[in-house]
Amino acid sequence: MSSERGSVSLLVAASVTMTLVLVMGVADVARALIARSRAEAVADLAALAAIQELALPSGGIDPEGVAADYATRNGADLVSCSCSAGSLEAVVTVAVHVDGFLLPIAAREVVARSRAIVDVPT
């Protein structure tokens, strides 16, 4: 009996360690999913801003500049914007930086793409 003394402590310590690693992994996945949702929302917003500038030009800023401004203000970087003057379509791609993972995982970029179209009545 005395040779098995303390084995329960080792099992409890291993269980606690495994539970902590699992919880940190779930938290990291949740952080990545939140970043993906944020990137999608910012891409939608930037595409709508660009298409609004295409449809109703304010005169001062090009549509790509408007999309970049909206993306930056909402914590993302504009990767690309296909929104040339005279077009009725804007396709915007943005990236959101995700860092601060609990597990030793390198920082990541979450990329989202959105498309907005002006519906011209005929």
Which letter does DSSP use for residue 60 in this model? Answer: S
Residues 44/118, Cβ–Cβ less than 8 Å: no
3 state DSSP class of 122: coil
| pLDDT value of position 1 | 52
| pLDDT value of position 3 | 67
| pLDDT value of position 68 | 96
**Mean pLDDT by groups of 10 residues along the chain of 122 residues:** 72 93 90 94 96 87 93 96 88 93 84 92 76
| pLDDT value of position 74 | 95
Cα 69 to Cα 15, 23, 43, 66, 94, distances in angstroms: 49, 37, 12, 5, 12
| pLDDT value of position 9 | 86
